[in-house]
C-alpha cells in the first residue's frame, strides 16, 4: 500500500508521480475492474478509498492489484466533505492525475457539489450536472420516462407515514418502498438508503419511517416479480458508442440489492430502444446503466438509471465491451470507437454475495420473490457446475482475490463478534 501526503510533497515524488487516472472508491468491485481495464492497456493508475471504509476492513482488493501504482487513503466525507476534498485536490495538484473516476453514490455527490474546483485540475468522468440531477432522482427519471411512453411501475410518492394507508389503497400489497435518491445527507452525515419489500401495513409504515428519517421522499411502488434486466449504454455527442444487456438471476439482498449472479444477453428489443430514448432525452453522456424489471407477463418497467459505473460492469467488460476504458477516453476527449457486438451467454458470479443471498433466502422463505429453501440451495450448488467468471478472479492479477477473501473472512469474524454492521453502497 502506498503512502500519503508527506511523500507527495517531496520534490522527487512530485517529479515521478503521474497518473493517467485516479480511481476513487477503491473498495468497490467496479473500481478494481476499472484499474485492470486501464492498467492492462498500459495506463498508469492510482486508487483512493476513504479512511472509514478502511477502518471497517483494511483489505481493499483494488489496492492489491498489480496495476495500482499507489493507494491513497483520504479522510471520510460522511461527516463533512472539506477534508476529503482538500486531500483529493492535493493529490491532483501534486500528481497531475488526468482523469478522476468515481463509482459510489457518495463520491458522486461530493464531486457534483464541488465540480468546478475539481474539474479545474483533472477531467471528471461524469455527465453534465443537468443530466445527473435527473438521473440521480428516481421521481424525475420516471416522470420523463412516462412522458416518453416507457412503462413505469404503478406508484405514488410518500413523504410521511400518515400517507401509508392511502398509498396501500392505491398501489396494493406487496409493494416496494424506495428512496427517491439513493444518497442522503442526513443528521450531518451521508447515508445510502435502499429499497425494501413490504407485505403488510406495519411493514409499510416501518419502511417509510426508516427511509424518511433523514428527510427525503420515498416511492411506494407495485411489486414486480419478473426478470431484472439492465441496459448499459455509452453515449456522447449524439452517438451511442456501445450498448450491452445483462440480466441478474440473483441479487443480494434478494430484493433491492447488488447483482451477484448475472449473465450477458442479446439486446432485448423493447427495453434497448426505451433505454436509448431515455438517455438521449436526458442528454446523459458517458456511461449509464438503465435498470428494468418485468412483471410476470414479461412487460418491462423502468427502475432507475445509474449514471456511474455499477458493480455489474465486469460482465460487460468480459463480454468485450470495455466501458471503463470508453469512460477514460471520453473524459480525455479522445476519439471513441463504436462497439458493435459482444459475447452473449457469459455468466459472472460474485461468490460472497451469492453465499449471503442464499442464506438470506433461507431466512426470508415464503416472502414474495424469494425461492423456497430447497430451490435456493439447489440453485446455489448448480451454479458451481455452470461455467462462470468470478468477481475478483483474474489469472493475470491474482492478489486482489486473496485480499477479497481475507476481507470476507475478516468481516465474517467481525459480524460474529459485533453483530451485523451497517451496509455500504455495494452497487
Ligand atoms: N417495484 C419493484 N418491484 C420489484 N423489484 C423492485 C422494485 N423496485 C426495485 N426493485 C428491485 O430493487 C432493485 C433496486 O431498486 P432501484 O430502483 O434500482 O434502487 P437502488 O438501486 O437505487 O437501490 C431493483 O434493481 C429491483 O431488482
Ligand atoms: Mg438500482
Residues 6+ positions from 378 with CB-CB distance below 8 Å: none
Q: Which of 145, 178, 179, 221 to mutate to test the pocket of ligand 1 (most atoms within 8 A of CB)?
A: 178
Instruction: Please tell me the distance between residue 160's alpha carbon and the centre of ligand 2 in angstroms.
Output: 23
CA-nearest residue, atom 21 of ligand 1? 256
- What is the grid cell recorded at 322? 470495455
Instruction: Please tell me the distance between residue 304's alpha carbon and the centre of ligand 2 in angstroms.
Output: 6
Q: Establish whether residue 221 lines the binding site of ligand 1, counting it when its CB lies within 6 angstroms of any ligand atom.
A: yes
Domain with CATH 3.30.1490.20 in the chain: 154-222
Q: Say if residue 147 is exposed, middle or buried (CB neighbours under 10 Å; 0-12, 13-18, 19+).
A: exposed
* Rounded Cα–Cα distance for residues 227 and 36 (Å): 30
For 242-267, letters b (16+ CB in 10 Å) and e give bbbbbbbbbbbbbbbbbbbbbbbbeb
Q: Establish whether residue 196 lines the binding site of ligand 1, counting it when its CB lies within 6 angstroms of any ligand atom.
A: no
* Contact in structure between 290 and 275 (CB atoms under 8 Å): yes
Count of beta carbons in the 10 Å neighbourhood of residue 2:
15
Class of domain 127-151+225-391: alpha beta
Q: Establish whether residue 153 lines the binding site of ligand 1, counting it when its CB lies within 6 angstroms of any ligand atom.
A: yes
* Contact in structure between 264 and 342 (CB atoms under 8 Å): yes
What integer best gives the mean pLDDT of the chain? Answer: 92
Domain with CATH 3.40.50.20 in the chain: 5-126
* Rounded Cα–Cα distance for residues 282 and 240 (Å): 14
Residue 1 pLDDT greater than 50, yes or no: no
Domain with CATH 3.30.470.20 in the chain: 127-151+225-391
* Rounded Cα–Cα distance for residues 20 and 89 (Å): 16
Prior bond to 174 cis, omega within 30? yes
From the alpha carbon of 223, which atom of ligand 1 is closest? Answer: 3
* Contact in structure between 49 and 74 (CB atoms under 8 Å): yes
Q: Which of 194, 195, 271 to mutate to test the pocket of ligand 1 (most atoms within 8 A of CB)?
A: 195
pLDDT score recorded for residue 3: 46
Average pLDDT of the residues in 153-172: 96
User: In the structure, what pLDDT confidence band is assigned to residue 419 with cuts at 50, 70 and 90?
Assistant: low
Q: Establish whether residue 136 lines the binding site of ligand 1, counting it when its CB lies within 6 angstroms of any ligand atom.
A: no
From the alpha carbon of 153, which atom of ligand 1 is closest? Answer: 1
Closest C-alpha among 408, 226, 232 to residue 315:
232
- Greater confidence (409 vs 1) lies with 409
* Rounded Cα–Cα distance for residues 47 and 399 (Å): 15
Q: Establish whether residue 178 lines the binding site of ligand 1, counting it when its CB lies within 6 angstroms of any ligand atom.
A: yes
**CATH number belonging to the domain at 5-126, selected among 3.40.50.20, 3.40.630.10, 2.60.40.10, 3.40.50.1370:** 3.40.50.20
- What is the grid cell recorded at 316? 460487460
Average pLDDT of the residues in 372-376: 95
Share of the chain above pLDDT 90, in %: 82
Q: Which of 104, 172, 194, 256 to mutate to test the pocket of ligand 1 (most atoms within 8 A of CB)?
A: 256
Q: Establish whether residue 306 lines the binding site of ligand 1, counting it when its CB lies within 6 angstroms of any ligand atom.
A: no
Average pLDDT of the residues in 64-73: 97
Q: Which of 155, 183, 247, 293 to mutate to test the pocket of ligand 1 (most atoms within 8 A of CB)?
A: 293
For the domain covering 154-222, report its CATH number.
3.30.1490.20
The H or E element that residue 75 is part of is none
Q: Are strands 239-252 and 258-265 parallel, antiparallel or unpaired?
A: antiparallel
* Rounded Cα–Cα distance for residues 88 and 72 (Å): 9
pLDDT score recorded for residue 256: 75
Q: What is the CA radius of gyration of the chain?
A: 21
From the alpha carbon of 175, which atom of ligand 1 is closest? Answer: 1
Q: pLDDT tens for residues 391-417?
A: 999 999 999 999 999 999 988 888 777
Q: Establish whether residue 74 lines the binding site of ligand 1, counting it when its CB lies within 6 angstroms of any ligand atom.
A: no
Instruction: Please tell me the distance between residue 303's alpha carbon and the centre of ligand 1 in angstroms.
Output: 6
Q: pLDDT tens for residues 147-159?
A: 999 999 999 999 9
Amino acid at each position: 500500500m502506498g503512502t500519503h501526503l508527506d511523500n507527495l510533497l517531496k520534490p522527487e515524488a512530485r517529479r515521478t508521480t503521474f497518473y493517467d487516472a485516479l480511481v476513487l472508491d477503491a473498495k468497490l468491485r467496479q473500481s478494481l475492474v476499472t484499474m485492470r481495464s486501464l492498467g492492462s492497456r498500459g495506463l498508469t493508475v492510482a486508487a483512493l478509498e476513504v479512511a472509514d471504509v478502511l477502518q471497517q476492513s483494511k483489505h481493499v482488493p483494488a489496492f492489491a492489484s498489480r496495476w495500482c501504482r499507489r493507494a491513497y487513503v483520504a479522510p471520510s466525507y460522511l461527516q463533512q466533505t472539506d477534508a476529503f476534498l482538500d486531500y483529493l485536490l492535493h493529490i491532483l495538484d501534486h500528481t497531475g492525475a488526468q482523469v478522476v473516476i468515481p463509482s459510489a453514490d457518495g463520491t458522486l455527490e461530493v464531486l457534483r457539489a464541488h465540480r468546478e474546483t475539481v474539474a479545474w485540475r483533472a477531467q471528471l468522468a461524469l455527465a453534465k450536472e443537468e443530466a445527473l440531477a435527473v438521473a440521480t432522482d428516481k421521481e424525475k427519471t420516471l416522470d420523463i420516462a412516462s412522458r416518453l411512453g416507457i412503462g413505469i411501475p404503478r406508484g405514488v410518492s410518500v413523504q410521511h407515514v400518515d400517507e401509508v394507508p392511502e398509498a396501500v389503497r392505491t398501489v396494493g400489497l406487496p409493494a416496494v418502498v424506495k428512496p427517491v435518491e439513493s444518497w442522503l445527507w442526513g443528521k450531518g452525515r451521508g447515508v445510502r438508503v435502499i429499497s425494501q419489500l413490504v407485505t403488510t401495513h406495519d411493514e409499510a409504515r416501518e419502511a417509510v419511517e426508516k427511509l424518511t428519517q433523514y428527510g427525503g421522499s420515498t416511492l411506494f411502488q407495485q411489486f414486480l416479480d419478473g426478470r431484472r434486466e439492465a441496459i448499459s449504454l455509452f453515449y456522447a455527442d449524439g452517438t451511442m458508442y456501445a450498448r450491452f444487456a445483462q440480466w441478474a438471476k440473483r441479487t443480494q439482498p434478494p430484493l433491492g440489492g447488488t447483482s451477484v449472479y448475472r449473465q450477458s444477453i442479446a439486446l432485448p428489443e423493447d427495453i434497448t430502444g426505451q433505454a436509448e430514448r431515455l438517455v438521449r432525452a436526458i442528454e446523459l453522456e458517458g456511461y449509464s446503466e438503465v435498470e428494468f424489471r418485468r412483471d410476470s407477463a414479461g412487460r418491462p418497467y423502468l427502475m432507475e438509471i445509474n449514471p456511474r459505473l455499477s458493480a455489474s460492469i465486469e460482465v460487460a467488460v468480459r463480454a468485450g465491451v470495455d466501458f471503463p476504458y470508453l469512460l477514460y477516453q471520453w473524459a480525455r476527449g479522445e476519439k471513441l470507437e463504436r462497439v458493435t457486438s459482444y459475447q452473449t451467454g457469459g455468466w459472472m458470479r460474485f461468490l460472497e454475495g451469492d453465499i449471503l443471498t442464499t442464506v438470506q433466502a433461507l431466512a426470508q422463505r415464503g416472502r414474495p420473490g424469494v425461492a423456497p429453501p430447497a430451490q435456493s440451495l439447489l440453485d446455489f450448488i448448480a451454479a458451481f457446475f455452470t461455467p462462470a467468471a468470478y468477481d475478483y478472479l483474474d489469472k493475470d492479477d491474482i492478489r486482489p482475490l486473496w485480499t477479497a477473501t481475507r476481507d470476507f473472512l475478516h468481516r465474517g469474524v467481525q459480524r460474529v463478534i459485533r453483530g451485523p454492521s451497517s451496509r455500504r453502497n455495494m452497487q
